[in-house]
Amino acid sequence: MKLTISRNELNEAVQHVSKAVAARTTIPILSGIKIDAVEHGVTLTASDTDISIQSFIPTEMQDRRIVTVHRGGSVVLPAKFFVEIIRKLPNEEVLLEVGERFQTSITSGAIDIQLVGLDPEEFPILPILEEDRVFSISGDQLKSMIRQTVFAVTTNESTPILTGVLWSLQDGVFKFVATDRHRLATCSIRSDVGEELKFSNVVISGKTLGELSKIIPDQDELVDIVVADNQVLFKLGNVLFYTRMLDGTFPDTTRIIPTSFRTELILSTKALSEAIDRAYLLSREEKTNIVRLSTTESGGIEISSSSSELGRVQEQLTVTELKGDPLRIAFNSKYMLDVLKVVDSEKLFIGFTGAMSPIIIKPEQEDSLHLILPYRTTN
């Protein structure tokens, strides 16, 4: 293998695939990045066997020469060092040449690097997926749906299925659900795929979705999603992102979401967020994060928290609308703040069905819905 390549494009591709390099592995080949050079371009691949990322660099882009392949071939280079040195090369052009026993030289200006390469034959082969269930969604929408839900997955490995986000596509509605049994986040959009395309119980690790989110470009481009038997593939321009689905059955959560309420509230997202943040400061010291919300006689609400050691915080909030029964409820303020952080709309709806029943939070004009279980307190 011998090729000349533009540093900027090489660097971008290397940064993308680096997210799939196994951080701690006993299999040396997985700590590397595979480079394949053929006549029409260079492909970089990294895989920790759960996720795999592949980035293709074509020989030309917008009439500009990016890669010249003098001799085709493959090699695996140690990722950690390779990723950083490519980022720190000052010159525009890099010459890569693989010699005997995968010894690789990287030359750029007055810099000469000799790297011990590994045999590309040992590198895992990416699966070939059946492409009969494929649909497209805008990158911005996908990022937003991930952001609206991923914070609610559990970090507790004893229920592995809940470390993931449930995806389903039914009657043209594409939906995400995440829950850690104390709270639940859902988000859905209407997709323009035909009704014959559907799937359910596709569960993708929250951590993986976090990584995917980072490499979805900021420009609003379409992402193609291929749903195969136990893998999902995302096509983002020249980047392919493969992930395994999580094994197991995601619990049915549809029945725990109340549809009618005894107390309904519409208020400013920012005002509520700031008030709960202040009450949280005190509740945090108690390690419980418990904050109370009560309706007041004047038709507003009061947010409060108390600590036996420090004292208490109490704050009156005016609301846009308050309907139904008077209420006094306690909840984990951290969970509420997590929700308020992802709500982009100026106002939101909160529905209650009593002090012991789920709290429902719905942003105005957004297709997301959040549920938080209250604390059962006696005072």
213/273 with CB nearer a copy of itself:
273
C-alpha count within 13 angstroms, C-beta hemisphere, residue 376 = 3
**Binding status of residue 315 toward a copy of itself by CB under 8 A:** yes
Answer yes or no whether residue 78 interacts with a copy of itself by CB under 8 A. Answer: yes
CA–CA gap between residue 354 and residue 328 (Å, rounded)? 8
**Selected binder of a copy of itself within 29, 266, 281, 373 (CB under 8 A):** 281
C-beta separation of 333 from 353 below 8 A? no
Which one of 27, 38, 111, 257 is in contact with a copy of itself (CB under 8 A)?
111
Q: Counting contacts by CB under 8 A, is residue 189 touching a copy of itself?
A: no
95 binds a copy of itself (CB under 8 A): no
Residue 157 touching a copy of itself (CB under 8 A): no
- Residue selected from 24, 90, 192, 287 as contacting a copy of itself according to rule CB under 8 A: 90
* Shorter beta-carbon distance to a copy of itself: residue 91 or 200: 91
Taking the complex as a whole, the smallest distance from the CB of residue 78 to a copy of itself amounts, in Å, to 6
**310 is a contact residue toward a copy of itself (CB under 8 A):** yes
314 counts as binding a copy of itself under rule CB under 8 A: yes
Our finding on whether 110 is near a copy of itself (CB under 8 A) is yes
In the complex with a copy of itself, the residue whose CB is nearer, 264 or 315, is: 315
Q: Which stretch binds a copy of itself (CB under 8 A): 33-41, 123-131, 158-166, 271-279?
A: 271-279
Dihedral pair phi/psi, residue 151, rounded to 5°:
-65, -20
Stretch that binds a copy of itself, among 67-75, 107-115, 141-149, 214-222 (CB under 8 A): 107-115
Positions 345 through 364 that interact with a copy of itself (CB under 8 A): none
Q: Does residue 309 touch a copy of itself according to CB under 8 A?
A: yes
Short-list 244, 160, 246, 171, CA closest to 201:
246
3-state secondary structure at position 220: coil
Q: Which is nearer to a copy of itself, 106 or 137 (CB)?
A: 106
Q: What is the 3-state secondary structure (H, E, C) of 165-217?
A: EEEEEECCEEEEEEECCCEEEEEEEECCCCCCCCEEEEEEEHHHHHHHHHHCC
Q: Environment class of residue 198 by beta-carbon count within 10 Å: exposed (0-12), middle (13-18) or buried (19+)?
A: middle
- Number of neighbouring beta carbons within 10 Å of residue 211: 15
Please, where are the H alpha helices in 242-295? Answer: 269-285
**CB 22, CB 70: distance < 8 Å:** no
Number of shown-chain residues binding a copy of itself (CB under 8 A):
33
- Interacting residue with a copy of itself among 316, 320, 345, 377 (CB under 8 A): 316
Question: Cβ–Cβ contacts within 10 Å for residue 114, how many?
Answer: 11
Q: Is 286 in the site for a copy of itself (CB under 8 A)?
A: no
- Angstrom CA distances, 49 to 23, 165, 214, 215, 310, stand at 12, 19, 19, 18, 50
282 in contact with a copy of itself (CB under 8 A): yes
Q: Which two tokens stand for residue 49?
A: 């066997």
Kind and range of the H or E element at 3?
A: strand 2-6
181 binds a copy of itself (CB under 8 A): no
Two structure tokens written together for 44: 């970089």
Q: Rounded to the nearest 5°, which phi and psi values hold at 254?
A: -65, -35
Nearest to a copy of itself of 153, 275 (CB atom): 275
Segment contacting a copy of itself (CB under 8 A): 102-110, 133-141, 214-222, 235-243? 102-110
Per CB under 8 A, residues contacting a copy of itself are: 78, 80-81, 84-85, 88-90, 103-104, 110-116, 274-275, 277-278, 281-282, 285, 309-317
